[in-house]
A and B are shown apart, each in its own frame.
Chain A
Amino acid sequence: MRTSILTLVLLAALAFTLLTLASSLGSVHIPGNDQGYEPVQPINFSHRLHAGEMQISCLYCHAGAGRSRHAGVPAANVCMNCHRFVSAPLGLVRAEDAQAQKEKREPRRMVSPEIQKLYTALALNDQMQPDPAHKPRPIEWVKVHNLPDFVYFDHRPHVSAGVDCQTCHGPMETMERVRQSADLAMGWCVNCHRTSNQTGVAGKKVQAPTDCSACHY
């Protein structure tokens, strides 16, 4: 008797779970696989514009990739190297210039709403001076490429071996918003390590480890 009650309860629970799951069938995927993850970021930063159109080197902003385990998200002071001067798209600035000429006045400084968020984070006013009314507040980017806690990935050997950033991160120079393009699963890593050991990377012979302890410790 006890057994049959257990069977019934478990079956009912299973059916209920299946039903709930069926409603979200479109988004079902293997646990831990976040391929295609494309979260909204606090600032609509465009890699297409910066890396694609402007041809800025990846390592200019992600300098950590050559020096540290983490490639790192650039600090706001790196953005300011350019955005101290560039505060709005060229079209907008030209339009304001034309308008100002027409109205015979000094052109106003144009600040695009997205770049304004950067200035706000640094608590700068529109004269690029510290604004005591605001507190500086770091920008909370949403991390796209996540590895589980038991995996230790180090950017340095990959960068120094000459692996292109796009090999793992996909065509960043075309992405308006960053999207995880590979599944970042272990089989994907190991396959690349194995092939690279045979074919080399960028014309050089490499020794890519395939030991467990290369990444798991």
Chain B
Amino acid sequence: MPENTSKHFWKSLEERDADLVQIASAGDEFPEDLTTLRDGFGRRDFLKAAGFTLATAAMAGCGRAPVQKAIPFLVQPEEITPGVAYFYASTCDGCSAGCGLLVKNRDGRPIKLEGNPEHPMSRGGLCAVGQASLLGLYDSTRYLQPQEQGTPTTWEEADRAIAAQLQTVRMNRGAIRFLTGTVTSPTSRAMIGSFLRGFADGRHVSYDPLSISAILDAYERTHGARVLPRCRFDRVDVIASFDADFLGTWISPVEFTAGYRAGRALEGEHPRMSYHVQFESRMSVTGSKADRRVRVAPSELGLVMSQLAVRVARKAGAGISWSVSDSSVPVKVLDDLAERLWQARGRSLVVCGEQDVQAQVLCNFLNHLLNNYGATLDTERPSYQRQGNERELETLVRDLRDGKVAALFIHGVNPVFDLPGGDELSALLKKVSLVVSFAERPDETSALAHFVCPEPHRLESWADAEAVAGTLSLAQPTIHPIGTNRALIESLSSWMGAPKPAYDILRDRWQASVFSRQKKERSFQAFWDRSVHDGFAEVEPERAKLQSFKMAAVQPVPGGKAPAAGAFALVLYPKVGILDGRHSHNPWLQELPDPITKVAWDNYACLSPAAAARLGVADGDVVRIELGAGGAAKTLELPVCVQPGQHEQTVAVACGYGGKATERFTQVGPRWFQAKLSVGENGRVGKNVAPLAELRDGALRYAQANVSLVKTGKKQPLACTQDHHSIRVPEKLALPGGERREIIQETTLPVLLSGERGAKHEAHSGQNTEMWPEDHPSPGHRWAMVIDLSACTGCSACVVACQAENNIPVVGRDEVRRRRAMHWMRVDRYYSGPDDEVDVAHQPMFCQQCGHASCETVCPVLATVHSEEGLNQQVYNRCVGTRYCANNCAYKVRRFNWFDYPREERLQNMALNPDVTVRSRGVMEKCTFCVQRIQAAKIEAKQRGEKLSDGAIRTACQQSCPAQAIVFGDRNDPVSKVSQLLRSGRRYAVLGEYNFQPSVGYLKIVRNRPEGEGERHNG
């Protein structure tokens, strides 16, 4: 046992501080009482009824199975073989990051999205949102045809009416506005442009509900152009991030995670690990990975940057004479960071997530001083992933108020919902004579539109995207469209009088303006074919016109106003999965527990433990957030979630909740007499916090300096999974020695590099195997997996990937609260350290496919047995649902089907994977290591007469992981990647001391800290 075990890991405050009163619920797999067999109905009655049921059931079973039809094609397309999956390259539409996709199709319908490993940005990863966007296709609440004033109409009629109105606008020289989110498609952008040129006063206004417009505005000041240089985290050695959640939700998280991971490659001959400091007020996914995380009040962030700038400028010899006051950040931390940044100039990066132009200018100044432009900030190929300009948005709102706008087209955004002045805006929209929405499904804004010209789902249509200059991606239809929807470019072309299908528009434009930007292919046809096949094309970027750095723009940022005593600063943030709410209709994303708080199905007010204690509230107590006073006060009631690591005077609330699209979730989950709805009192999931944001001085601002919190006395229990399926023994409840479960292991970079304590922990595992004789050898393959905890960011892409691959049902908020979430893969989040300066560890946990499995020994019907290839098989048709296995599983990874979880709607059944059984009620299930993929790869190798190669099998979680933290393979093959990693000095087995011989190895977390400051073991 290492000597410094003074700090312990814990999953939640309740668990850490648990006393004997809570013992009953602390570790139970099934917390319910057995209350069904009570008075009046005795054992004999039960046996009689059971015998009768059995007899009639057997007789009923004696009939023939229902007739099944086999309906072949009439004329079978050459490239299609029924039952064989084929893949199309495409581009993700989940956010504006534009990651590469491979769409897995079976029998004419997409059933799974995977990352495209060849894509230059996302490199094979795909986030939770991307994974889940598949379900958006099979959504019957989508618009499936155009609407006029809320009633379905035909395209001919809609076109005729809109064209007539547009003619009036043209005649009257009226103002026409096109309001969009960021449009990464160059074709759409060009089409909107040429459409608007047909009018005397046409303007394209774009904004991002999750805006970073301050960065663009800052570049306009410092470099003379609104550009967004591409952050190259793969080239970075020292990262200073000021509230930028780049691993979670900021700009392009998959791309950044892949780069960040490349900068932290610890295996191999030349270990490399970047140093990452995060200044933030709430606990973000990125903050949870930082080597040093500093809690800073939102009002102080600019000040801290100024302090840092002074120090770096001094080193650089830039003569600035600022007098900057002190902040709460210790001088030592800033000195150390400045020194590290300076040492790593050209290989460092400062990023800032504040919506404050001054702070962003400082950020640019720092990067300028550190020579990062052209090195870690790519200005040659800048990013187009965010283009919003809120100064223009403000102008538009002003024009609307003045009644100047004659026609408004709204695409890709939901301003009535996601902008602060939603109510005012909805009143203003009613005054515009023509409002056309392109929304895919009914939302707050489309309800007010005169016409809805719905766009098809990304998987139904042709589209392109240029997320980063010079990297053009293509999307192609992968299914016969479910409705008659029409792409934006098609609608525009028909209103411009030359209707053309989207494919022709796209192809013509690529021929005219993309083909000439590359030299690889001589003929356009070859170029086009290759681009469609690959899903992307790399071409010459259009040059951004950057000027040299303008020192004059730089000023120190003084400390903002701190909240009054007893008051709080409010921070609105996007959650992984829900983002700005554009996917809030998606049940997979609603049920995905947040990586940090582990709460699903709601938004809530995050408070630090100290603040919660001061207010006298705990998890689930409803508080009222009050902004302003008197008649203009805005209030919002939300349940509290106590969040260690959060700044004490900050309350953080997730945006994107409470939208109209979540009204559908009254239908989700099993219906039984104790069932409760998944929606709140307002009939929706969570509350919309956009009214608390602010559109001020040309930027959307997500922080409020001064709000007060009032305890209401109401309760709203959260669907929080952090204490569910816990494999921890609460420290205060454990027997002496029993609390020392080394579930999470950490080390520091110096210790790792010195290599002395390498494989030490292997010795801990007991070697007494008497209870389980070696009776199941694995002569052929033996499957194993390694999870690099140092690489894992907790982003939870794997959870949704697993859900999509393995037909895992959605159970709804109430069932999640009852510990019945069905995810086979969960990401456990542990804290260590004191409340205010916690370290976070993420640990993906799923069936460990134990060699000596405790579940197997207790199954009375042999429904869970060992395979020759080291898998712990679960045979659904044998399972009788005793749940003994789940009770006996030490890792708590088995899930019981309490119900036949029907899909919320039948159309979603189209997304089911036909290679995986849909489990019925009363059956236990768990991770299978994606055995369907193992079988498929084995059969394909056998067909080709080849040996199964390493890497031929990629499990769904592994495929999706943007950080490549998961490696799967055959441990009987000594040169396979998984075997090599299993031999790593960082490898340990969770609960290895019990000798379950798990097939999953975990690699210790490494923190880039001085020795002795970080080595911790769970104890």
**Residues of A bordering B, CB below 8 Å:** 3, 6-7, 10, 13-14, 17, 21, 28-32, 34, 37, 39, 63-64, 67-70, 72-78, 121-122, 136-143, 146, 148-150, 152, 154, 156-157, 160, 207, 209, 211-214, 216-217
- What are the residues of chain B within 8 A of A28 when measuring CB–CB? 62
- What are the residues of chain A within 8 A of B44 when measuring CB–CB? 3
Are A212 and B867 in contact (CB-based, < 8 A)?
Answer: yes
Are B74 and A136 in contact (CB-based, < 8 A)?
Answer: yes
Cα distance A88–B299 when bound, in Å?
Answer: 89
Mark out the residues of chain B between 854 and 912 whose CB falls within 8 Å of any chain A CB in the assembled complex: 865, 867-869, 871, 873, 875-877
- What are the residues of chain A within 8 A of B869 when measuring CB–CB? 211
Give 13 A-B pairs besides A3-B44, A212-B875 with Cβ atoms closer than 8 angstroms: A6-B45, A28-B62, A29-B62, A72-B83, A75-B75, A121-B74, A122-B74, A138-B73, A141-B69, A141-B70, A141-B72, A143-B67, A211-B871
Q: How large is the interface on B (under 10, 10 to 19, 20 to 34, 35 or more residues)?
A: 35 or more
How far in angstroms is the closest Cβ of chain A from B292? Answer: 45
Stretch of B50-58, B113-121, B172-180, B203-211 on the interface side = B50-58
- What are the residues of chain A within 8 A of B76 when measuring CB–CB? 75, 77-78
How far in angstroms is the closest Cβ of chain B from A13? Answer: 7
5 A-B pairs with least C-beta separation: A31-B61, A75-B76, A68-B83, A70-B83, A75-B73
- What are the residues of chain B within 8 A of A121 when measuring CB–CB? 74
- What are the residues of chain A within 8 A of B918 when measuring CB–CB? 149
Are A160 and B943 in contact (CB-based, < 8 A)?
Answer: yes
Nearest CB in chain A to that of B866: its residue: A211
- What are the residues of chain B within 8 A of A72 when measuring CB–CB? 72, 81-83
- What are the residues of chain A within 8 A of B69 when measuring CB–CB? 140-143
- What are the residues of chain B within 8 A of A140 when measuring CB–CB? 69-71
Stretch of B127-135, B496-504, B928-936 on the interface side = B928-936
Are B72 and A213 in contact (CB-based, < 8 A)?
Answer: no
Cα distance A211–B71 when bound, in Å?
Answer: 32
Cα distance A6–B41 when bound, in Å?
Answer: 11
The reply to whether the CB of B696 lies closer than 8 angstroms to some CB of chain A is no
Nearest CB in chain B to that of A21: its residue: B59
The reply to whether the CB of B942 lies closer than 8 angstroms to some CB of chain A is yes
The reply to whether the CB of B48 lies closer than 8 angstroms to some CB of chain A is yes
Cα distance A34–B66 when bound, in Å?
Answer: 11
Question: Would A68 and B84 be within 8 Å (CB), given that A6-B45, A10-B52, A149-B917 are in contact?
Answer: yes
- What are the residues of chain B within 8 A of A75 when measuring CB–CB? 72-76
Are A150 and B877 in contact (CB-based, < 8 A)?
Answer: yes
Question: Would A37 and B70 be within 8 Å (CB), given that A6-B45, A70-B82, A70-B83 are in contact?
Answer: no
- What are the residues of chain A within 8 A of B867 when measuring CB–CB? 211-213
Count CB-based A-B contacts (< 8 Å). 145
Are B81 and A68 in contact (CB-based, < 8 A)?
Answer: yes
How far in angstroms is the closest Cβ of chain A from B208? Answer: 43
How far in angstroms is the closest Cβ of chain B from A211? Answer: 4
Cα distance A213–B931 when bound, in Å?
Answer: 7
- What are the residues of chain B within 8 A of A157 when measuring CB–CB? 939, 942-943
Question: Would A3 and B67 be within 8 Å (CB), given that A75-B72, A138-B72, A150-B917 are in contact?
Answer: no
Nearest CB in chain A to that of B52: its residue: A10
Cα distance A149–B877 when bound, in Å?
Answer: 10
The reply to whether the CB of B64 lies closer than 8 angstroms to some CB of chain A is yes
Nearest CB in chain B to that of A10: its residue: B52
Q: List 24 A-B contacts (CB under 8 A).
A: A3-B44, A3-B45, A13-B56, A30-B62, A32-B61, A69-B83, A72-B83, A74-B72, A75-B72, A75-B73, A138-B73, A139-B71, A140-B71, A141-B72, A148-B877, A150-B917, A157-B942, A160-B943, A213-B871, A213-B873, A214-B935, A216-B875, A217-B915, A217-B928
Nearest CB in chain A to that of B877: its residue: A150
Nearest CB in chain B to that of A157: its residue: B939
Cα distance A214–B64 when bound, in Å?
Answer: 27
Cα distance A212–B874 when bound, in Å?
Answer: 8
- What are the residues of chain B within 8 A of A217 when measuring CB–CB? 915-917, 928, 931-932, 935
Which of B45, B74, B780 is close to A138, meaning CB atoms less than 8 Å apart?
A: B74
Cα distance A149–B807 when bound, in Å?
Answer: 14
Are B75 and A77 in contact (CB-based, < 8 A)?
Answer: yes
- What are the residues of chain B within 8 A of A6 when measuring CB–CB? 45, 48-49
Cα distance A160–B944 when bound, in Å?
Answer: 10
Are B877 and A143 in contact (CB-based, < 8 A)?
Answer: no
- What are the residues of chain B within 8 A of A29 when measuring CB–CB? 62
Are B71 and A138 in contact (CB-based, < 8 A)?
Answer: yes
Cα distance A63–B83 when bound, in Å?
Answer: 12
- What are the residues of chain A within 8 A of B84 when measuring CB–CB? 67-69
Are B81 and A142 in contact (CB-based, < 8 A)?
Answer: no
Cα distance A148–B942 when bound, in Å?
Answer: 26
- What are the residues of chain A within 8 A of B915 when measuring CB–CB? 152, 217
